[in-house]
Chain A
Amino acid sequence: MSDEPREEGQGPDAYTRRVLEQGLSRRSFLGRAAGGAAAVGLFGMGASPALAAAVKEPKAEGFATSTDGGATLTFLPKPKPIRDREISETLTFDVVVVGAGASGVPAALSAAEHGAKVAVVQKAPFALSQGNTGSGIDLAASEKAGVEALVARLIADSNHRCDPKLIRQWAYHSGEAVRWVIDRAKQGGATVVDQGSPAQRAILKVNGYSMGYVTSFFGPKPYTTGDGMRALAKTAEKAGVKFFFQMPAVQLVQGRSGEVQGVIARGHDGKYRKFLAKKGVILATGDYQNNRAMSDYFIPDVKYLERKQMDRTGDGFALAYWAGGVFEPIGHTKMLHDFDAGPASMCDMPFLAVDRKGRRFVNETVEMSLLNNYLKDAENAGHYSQVFDADYMTQAATWPGKLVPPEGLKNYMPDEPGPKKGVFESQVNTHKAGTLEELARKLEVDPATLVATVRRYNEVVASGKDSDFGKPASFLAPILKAPFYGIHRRVRVSAICSGMLVDEHHQALNADGKPIKGLFLVGNLGGGFYGGVDYPLTVFGLSLGRCYTFGYLTGRHVARL
């Protein structure tokens, strides 16, 4: 099967041109600031390389504000150079990976399997990742036209703002990569299965063309891909990879011409260690959702939304930026879900949904993964509740999704005694009550408001037409009969999935669109794979599938340099 069609002609492709023009790099910033656009409109202007070259570095930090006048660039503080006499130890490897997650661990193992001597430096005390499903395309079971149709679907999901060559790279290499992760994680003792095509029911045909999938599943919860990556790290250690935990990277080592030669990290003992990389440094440090200023600047939409992760401070973004890397333009892509409060299979079922006060706020055919856009104010902060009554098993029987019967719902109810299975016990938030008022109290919404909302909703249902929000009549079911049920979901930031500009080898590009020697970016730090308002759920497990695939390919590529 042919691989990664390239655009013909001279110069960078359309995606890369846009990021170079509108993204944020050290040089583009300096150039624009010098052009007199220090505040409003900063990102509307391109920087001419000639102008930028003539600009002197600003003396102070905090030298710009975002369009709302809020954040400043002090979230990208220039690292204070660490002198050689402060280095307690220097170690030399072929490849140094920063970050032991769903991209970093595969990158390290892949590099080691291709002959490289590899170190992984990780801020946390062990490997970390989230989620369960990671997906790829089974090329042998797919028509080429189907692969291209899915690529087109994913590009459209990203509002046509992603880099098509990276989508194609995932499409044509993910099956191989995900299978490899499953096999190697099993060697390390992981509980993982290939759920294959049945896990991707909605895309078995794309535009009429047949497709097959490789769907890795580390689970069920509370077992996750985090456990999976810790198992994969064991396999990597056996393959010779050296892991250094509680060792955050603080600085890149660069040569005279800017080439990246290694990483300086600070150990748990407070001492600096220099990790020289003869072939390259692969940054796999994840997103920046816990860096408040960086978030406010690049994705103000999530200002009031809660975070699911901790310590995602965008360390790699700052490192790559200071090495000349380019941030994707403002308006990054976000992923906000709640698959835990109630059954995941019911999250997109169009039951009545109410906001944190108890008011109806949306045509409920809007998917859970998009509802954050209606709930991003400080009051709602991502909270809403699905409400239904005793007859839900019959009334919603034909709706999209899969109903869980009342007995099964108990598994998601914190008020039900007994151990829970296949869930995060601390996150379940489904409730049952004899009256709407009691249900409202359990859902933490205003009882009188909920009662009024249900009364109005029942009027709409009785009329047979949703004159309030236009939901199809087939999804209108009254809420009349006790017991009443509610699922209090709160969508939180699982990930921010925009990153920094890379080429097809995942090598960082500078503001001239030229590769930065020795620097590679994978996982959520790597740009170009998304571009829409929200992460798409067309392919379940796309995010982890992409992380595995690009880690796998990049580790191999750098090892062969």
Chain B
Amino acid sequence: MTILTPSRILGFGLAGLLAASLGAAPAAWTSKHAARGVTCVQCHGKSGKPTAVPFRQCQGCHDPADLAARTAQAKPTNPHLNRHYGTQTDCTRCHHEHKASENLCLPCHTRFTFKVP
């Protein structure tokens, strides 16, 4: 296997993920999950080819229905219970760990100005 230097990890996302599969958190990345003790493999899997995190993986710890109930009073609308996906919006459509999160609603619903953690 290629030896991973820090610069390579920064330069190549997938290479960084390879490092993740070895269990070593790439120091250059910030991660709220890592800060809470979640290791890379818990989300990205153990195989040699780490993958994007599937929605079902998030649901292992986060219950979408419970989340929707907790944001029921959000204004102007509850982002976790919507017309498009119900409670089943893939978390990673908005919430990112290794880059800035985004507001999936905003391009179409210009007044849904949620701050996405």
Contact A268 B109 (CB under 8 A): no
Write the nearest CB–CB distance from B90 to chain A, whole angstroms: 10
* Nearest neighbor of B110 in chain A, beta-carbon distance: A426
Q: Are A426 and B112 in contact (CB under 8 A)?
A: yes
Q: Is the CB of A270 within 8 A of B88?
A: no
- For A269, give its contact among B56, B107, B109 (CB under 8 Å): B56
Residues from chain A with Cβ under 8 Å of B83 in the complex: 222, 226
Number of CB contacts from chain A to chain B under 8 A: 29
Q: How far is the CA of A170 from the CA of B29 in the complex (A)?
A: 57
A308 close to B108 (CB less than 8 A): yes
Contact check, A246 vs B111: say whether CB atoms are below 8 A apart: no
Contact assessment for A125 and B88 in the assembled complex, using a CB-CB cutoff below 8 Å: yes
Give residues 77-107 of B contacting A (CB, 8 Å): 77, 83-86, 88, 107
Q: How many B residues face the partner with a CB closer than 8 A?
A: 16
Closest Cβ neighbor of B93 among chain A residues: A310
- Residues 265-285 of A, flagged 1 when their CB comes within 8 A of B and 0 if not, give 000111000000000000000
CA distance A170 to B107 in the complex (A): 36
> Which B residues are CB-close (under 8 A) to A414?
111
Q: How far is the CA of A125 from the CA of B86 in the complex (A)?
A: 7
Question: Any chain A CB within 8 A of the CB of B76?
Answer: yes
CA distance A425 to B77 in the complex (A): 10
Q: Which residues of B contact A125 (CB under 8 A)?
A: 85-86, 88
Residue A462, interface by CB 8 Å? no
Whole-angstrom CA separation of A308 from B84 in the bound complex: 11
Is A426 within 8 A of B76, CB to CB? yes
Minimum CB–CB distance for A439 against chain B, Å: 18
Q: Is B54 in contact with chain A by the CB < 8 A criterion?
A: yes
A126→B89 CA distance, assembly (Å): 12
Least CB distance, B108 to chain A, in whole angstroms: 7
Shortest Cβ distance from residue B34 to the other chain A in the assembled complex, whole angstroms: 24
A246-B88 contact in complex given A426-B76, A426-B77, C-beta closer than 8 Å: yes
| Complex-state Cα separation, A270 to B52, whole angstroms | 13
- Would you call A427 an interface residue if the criterion is a C-beta within 8 Å of the partner chain's C-beta atoms? yes
Distance of A312 from chain B, by nearest CB (Å): 12
A426-B109 contact, Cβ under 8 Å, with A126-B86, A246-B88, A310-B84: yes
Question: In the bound complex, how far is the Cα of B86 from the Cα of A425, in angstroms?
Answer: 18
Bound together, the chains give a CA A269 to CA B54 distance in angstroms of 9
- A425: chain B residues within 8 A (beta carbon): 76
**Which A residues lie within 8 Å of B55 (CB)?**
268
Contacts A269-B56, A270-B54 hold; do A427 and B85 have CB atoms under 8 A apart?
A: no
- Name the contact of A306 in the complex, choosing from B84, B85, B86, B107 (C-beta under 8 A): B107
B85 and A268: CB pair below 8 A?
no
Question: Which residues of chain B come closer than 8 Å to A482, judged between CB atoms?
Answer: none
A426 to B112, CA, bound (A): 8
| Contact residues in A for B109 (Cβ distance below 8 Å) | 426-427
CB distance from B111 to the nearest CB of A (A): 6
A455 CB, nearest partner CB in chain B, Å: 30
Whether the pair A306, B108 counts as a contact (CB closer than 8 A) is yes
Asked if B56 and A426 sit within 8 Å, CB to CB, the answer is no
Q: Which of B56, B77, B86, B111 contacts A268 (CB 8 A)?
A: B56
Asked if A124 is at the interface (CB within 8 A of a chain B CB), the reply is yes
Closest residue of chain B to A308 (Cβ to Cβ) is: B108
| Interface positions of B (Cβ within 8 A of A) | 54-56, 76-77, 83-86, 88, 107-112
Name 13 A/B residue pairs within 8 A (Cβ), A-sorted.
A125-B85, A126-B86, A268-B55, A268-B56, A269-B56, A270-B54, A270-B56, A306-B107, A306-B108, A310-B84, A426-B76, A426-B110, A492-B108
4 closest Cβ pairs, A-B complex: A125-B88, A426-B109, A125-B86, A268-B56
